[in-house]
């Protein structure tokens, strides 16, 4: 008798305009993401592999995949560029991995609002390039913008370069609408307005297959990359805060402490070894930043327009700092947190007192509900899970909000609470719970949300 997976593969092979990948090494590669930044996730996820990977070339073939998965009750995990850090695109229960890379077009630009409608598999580097033709650019992008998709960023990312001004992806105003396919006996393309789109934002593809999105964009600018040297970490924090509270435009504000700088690529650390601030601002902002540095006797270097540099500072910030550290030594891992407002240095001092230089500090300036704040992605050598959890507990007890990058679920990596709207959307659009099973904790208590 033909088993369920053979039937699945036969049925998929009969769908027109669908690329089906069965080759073991490709399926294995396409079942992974960058979860190995976490030794805890690595232990859990290394064996997870899909039965088959598919790449639909149009909506009809996507709908046909959804229908087959429904009929056979096969798990379906969506993949964009596969650059997530928490195993978001890893199929915990095997089944189908659905890659969206043929959905890669900018569909419409709305000149009156600056909104853009784009297909979910479009790479953010390509999208930014296209937006440039309209004098626009992405408000927010992760440091993986060259290889990550816009759908994967909305479904699995949080913020990044641009968060200094535009906050986080789930902040109102960034996602305007989306289209998605559901998984039921009669799957369809759904057109969701802003409010209806919210539960699919940062849901790890657990409650709908996003095919296109309408997002806000910003006016295109030339961003200049600036490096400021500081012998003193407190001074570096104060300067960054002076910049974020000045009346200037900023795209990025990062601080790397000296031990981290020492592990960055040679082109960057070739100069003086000290704490470094990495800032992107426009030409107008540059004047003010120079003045702030002059008043504080700090050395400032303008590297020039980021887009014209052989080595841009975008490759050293956000989780690319971790990437650079891991390029030297794979035992480095990291944490993510929002630091207590106006107590940042006190916080760092307390943690340094207990953990010394085993915890190295990397800060990113962000806007949190309109208020300039400092986030941190500190680096450490992994000991064991207990030690890691103890550090997070200590950070919490000193006032930080933790976004744990060593857990698999939407809730675990966020504020730890169930979002009822995300579960309700899953009940509506994925009633059998086939989309990315195991990633939405709230699904276990779905009965509470049935009206």
For 220, list phi and psi in degrees, rounded to 5.
-65, 135
Please report whether residue 367 would count as binding ligand FAD according to CB under 6 A.
no
Q: 216 and 115 in contact (C-beta within 8 Å)?
A: yes
Judged by CB under 6 A, the chain residues 12 through 71 that form the site for ligand FAD are 33-34
Judged by CB under 6 A, the chain residues 414 through 443 that form the site for ligand FAD are 436
In Å, how far from its chain's centre is CA 205? 13
Please report whether residue 152 would count as binding ligand FAD according to CB under 6 A.
yes
Shortest gap between Cβ of 161 and ligand FAD (angstroms)?
Answer: 7
Please report whether residue 88 would count as binding ligand FAD according to CB under 6 A.
yes
DSSP state of 161: B
Q: Applying CB under 6 A, which of residues 61, 101, 158, 314 lies at the interface with ligand FAD? A: 158
Please report whether residue 403 would count as binding ligand FAD according to CB under 6 A.
no
Please report whether residue 84 would count as binding ligand FAD according to CB under 6 A.
yes
Single out the segment in contact with ligand FAD by CB under 6 A; choices: 201-209, 233-241, 262-270, 371-379: 201-209
Q: Which residues are registered as beta bridge partners of 338?
A: 375, 401
Please report whether residue 155 would count as binding ligand FAD according to CB under 6 A.
yes
Q: 181 and 208 in contact (C-beta within 8 Å)?
A: yes
In Å, how far from its chain's centre is CA 111? 27
- Counting runs of H as helices and runs of E as strands, what totals does the chain give? 17, 21
Token digits of residue 194: 């802003």
Please report whether residue 205 would count as binding ligand FAD according to CB under 6 A.
yes
Please report whether residue 82 would count as binding ligand FAD according to CB under 6 A.
yes
Q: Applying CB under 6 A, which of residues 8, 138, 148, 277 lies at the interface with ligand FAD? A: 148
Judged by CB under 6 A, the chain residues 207 through 226 that form the site for ligand FAD are 209-210
Alpha carbon distance 228, 241 (integer Å): 13
DSSP state of 339: P
Alpha carbon distance 412, 449 (integer Å): 20
Q: 87 and 42 in contact (C-beta within 8 Å)?
A: no
Judged by CB under 6 A, the chain residues 304 through 333 that form the site for ligand FAD are 318-320, 323
The end-to-end CA distance of the chain, in Å, is: 41
Q: Applying CB under 6 A, which of residues 12, 69, 76, 89 lies at the interface with ligand FAD? A: 89
- Pick the closer one to ligand FAD by CB: 197 or 281: 197
- Pick the closer one to ligand FAD by CB: 79 or 251: 79
Please report whether residue 87 would count as binding ligand FAD according to CB under 6 A.
no
Count of residues in contact with ligand FAD, rule CB under 6 A: 38
Please report whether residue 167 would count as binding ligand FAD according to CB under 6 A.
no
Closest alpha carbon to 381 in 403, 396, 400, 359? 359
Q: How far is CA 11 from CA 4, 15, 23, 57, 184, in A?
A: 10, 7, 17, 16, 17
Judged by CB under 6 A, the chain residues 98 through 117 that form the site for ligand FAD are 100
Please report whether residue 78 would count as binding ligand FAD according to CB under 6 A.
yes
Closest alpha carbon to 350 in 385, 280, 400? 400
Q: Applying CB under 6 A, which of residues 61, 128, 149, 404 lies at the interface with ligand FAD? A: 149
Token digits of residue 248: 């200037």
The residues binding ligand FAD (CB under 6 A) are 33-34, 77-85, 88-89, 100, 120, 142-144, 148-149, 151-153, 155-160, 204-205, 209-210, 318-320, 323, 436
């Amino acid at each position: 008798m033909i088993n369920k997976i053979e039937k699945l593969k036969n049925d998929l092979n009969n769908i027109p305009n669908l690329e089906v990948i069965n080759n073991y090494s490709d399926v294995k590669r396409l079942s992974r993401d960058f979860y190995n930044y976490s030794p805890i996730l690595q232990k859990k996820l290394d064996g997870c592999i899909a039965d088959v990977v598919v790449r639909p070339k149009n909506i009809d073939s996507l709908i046909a995949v959804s229908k087959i998965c429904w009929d056979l009750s096969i798990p379906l995990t969506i993949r964009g560029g596969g650059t997530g850090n928490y195993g978001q695109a890893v199929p915990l229960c095997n089944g189908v991995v659905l890659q969206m890379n043929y959905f890669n077009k900018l569909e419409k630009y709305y000149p009156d609002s600056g909104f853009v409608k784009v297909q979910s598999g479009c790479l953010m580097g390509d999208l930014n390039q296209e937006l440039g033709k309209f004098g626009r650019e992405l408000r927010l992008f992760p440091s993986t913008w060259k290889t990550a998709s816009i759908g994967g960023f909305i479904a699995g990312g949080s913020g990044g370069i641009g968060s200094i001004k535009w906050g986080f992806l789930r902040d109102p105003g960034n996602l305007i609408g989306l289209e998605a396919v559901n998984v039921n006996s009669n799957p369809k393309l759904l057109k969701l307005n802003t409010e209806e789109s919210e539960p699919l934002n940062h849901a790890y593809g657990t409650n709908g297959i996003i095919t296109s999105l309408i997002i806000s964009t910003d006016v295109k600018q030339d961003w200049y990359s600036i490096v400021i040297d500081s012998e003193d970490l407190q001074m570096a924090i104060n300067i960054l805060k002076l910049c974020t509270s000045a009346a200037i435009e900023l795209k990025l504000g990062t601080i790397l402490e000296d031990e981290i700088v020492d592990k960055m690529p040679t082109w960057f650390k070739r100069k003086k070894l000290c704490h470094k601030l990495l800032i992107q601002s426009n030409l107008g902002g540059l004047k003010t930043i120079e003045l702030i540095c002059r008043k504080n006797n700090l050395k400032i270097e303008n590297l020039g327009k980021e887009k014209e540099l052989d080595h841009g500072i975008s490759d050293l910030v956000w989780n690319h700092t971790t990437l650079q550290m891991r390029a030297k030594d794979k035992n480095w891992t990291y944490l993510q947190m929002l630091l207590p407002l106006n107590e940042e240095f006190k916080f760092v001092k307390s943690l340094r007192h207990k953990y010394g230089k085993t915890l190295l500090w990397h800060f990113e300036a962000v806007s949190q509900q309109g208020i300039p704040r400092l986030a941190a992605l500190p680096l450490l050598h992994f000991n064991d899970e207990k030690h890691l959890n103890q550090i997070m507990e200590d950070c919490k007890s000193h006032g930080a909000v933790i976004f744990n990058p060593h857990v698999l679920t939407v809730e675990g990596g966020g504020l730890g609470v169930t979002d009822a709207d995300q579960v309700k959307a899953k009940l509506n659009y994925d009633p059998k719970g086939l989309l990315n099973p195991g990633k939405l904790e709230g699904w276990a208590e779905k009965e509470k949300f049935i009206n």
